[in-house]
Amino acid sequence: MRTPEFWYPSAGRRAGALPWLLSPFAMCYRCVGRLRAFLARPYGASVPIICVGNLTVGGAGKTPVALALARRLVGKGVKVHFLTRGYGGALSGPIRVEQNHHSAADVGDEALLLAAAAPCWVARNRKDGAIAAIAGGAELLILDDGHQNPHLVKDLSLLLVDAERGFGNGWVVPSGPLREPVIRGLARADAVLMMGEGSQPIITDKQQLRAHRHIRDPGTVRGKRLFAFCGIGAPQQFFAMLRETGAEMAGEQVFADHHPFTDHEINQIISRAAKSDAMPVTTEKDWVRLPPALRPQIMAIGMEIQFADEPALARLLETVIHKPA
């Protein structure tokens, strides 16, 4: 789905009447979440679990952060495995992702990106996924998304917040972008990771860190004429990062988050880019959802995470690595 404008009203404007009109549905959503948490019996795994989550619907940079954490832990000799729901994929798991065998239609786009860095397991039932991953040799699990999942005990819950958009209008879905009330979600977090340069105020006693997304290799697009498209939660951030490299934007096209691209759509984009004498580009997350035969004609732009306080992050991770048996 595309993000409704009233979820994130511009400065000085109110969200209008829609949140109030949708509030009965938002109340039902909240009640279902509370009931689910009340009935759950969280499973305590024999290995540490790091959860990278957020409170809002859509992209916050969870997958790039999960990848960045994994690289640091793998560098310390830890056998890290990823665990994800596999949003957008047909397989319920638990199943280990095989890049040469599975597609985004099978396991979702995030799972394919994660599997390129470390073993990745897709499981609708996170407990079963954790058990399968541990049996497969995992010494530490990184849960990509899952802050609202009550079925696993997390040893470190890192909550991502968009530093520019914050929590939007402050309402729960569908009245707003929140998956749960802010106070309840923050209470279960061990640390908050502010993503980007914004200064949205977050009132919490939790440790706050900051990180920034940037293009992995800006030289590949610097000074070039681009036609950019994507189907992610925060498309304008992607376009802004491209412009910051000095690239000239010939066109921008936004699709819904996790959009399954068709041959017709990509051929149209290739044609429009050619008419503008531009190079068609998209994110790595979108690239894995492209029709395989057309991927060579589209450049995939990789993203990386830069943490503002590496020592503070290292201290957080150390507490998990040395979890008592």
Alpha carbons 40 and 32: distance in angstroms, whole number:
12
- Whether 193 contacts 309, CB under 8 Å: no
The candidate with the shortest Cα–Cα distance to 112, out of 315, 290, 321, 234, is 290
Alpha carbons 307 and 218: distance in angstroms, whole number:
18
pLDDT at 325 over 70: no
Mean pLDDT of 147-153: 93
**Coil, strand or helix: which one is 321?**
helix
- Across the chain, mean pLDDT equals 90
Task: Indicate the residue type of 289.
Answer: R
Q: What is the pTM of this model?
A: 0.89
- Whether 250 contacts 227, CB under 8 Å: yes
Predicted pLDDT at 13: 63
How confident is residue 316, by pLDDT bands cut at 50, 70 and 90? Answer: very high
pLDDT at 210 over 90: yes
Between 6-10, 82-86, 314-318, the lowest mean confidence (pLDDT) is in 6-10
Alpha carbons 64 and 54: distance in angstroms, whole number:
13
Predicted pLDDT at 14: 65
More confident residue, 16 or 221: 221
- Give exposure, 169-186, as e/b (b: 16+ Cβ within 10 Å): bebbbbbbbbbbbbeebb
**Coil, strand or helix: which one is 263?**
helix
Alpha carbons 183 and 325: distance in angstroms, whole number:
31
Q: What is the DSSP code (8-state) at residue 162?
A: E
Mean pLDDT of 108-125: 94
Alpha carbons 190 and 209: distance in angstroms, whole number:
11
Mean pLDDT of 20-24: 90
Q: pLDDT of 157-201, one tens digit each? A: 999 999 888 898 889 999 999 999 999 999 999 999 999 887 776
- Whether 89 contacts 105, CB under 8 Å: yes
Q: Domains along the chain?
A: 45-213+306-321 (3.40.50.300), 217-301 (3.40.50.2300)
Q: pLDDT of 277-304, one tens digit each? A: 999 999 999 999 999 999 999 999 998 9
Q: pLDDT of 251-269, one tens digit each? A: 999 998 889 999 999 999 9
Please name the helix (run of DSSP H) or strand (run of DSSP E) that holds residue 16, with its range, or none: none
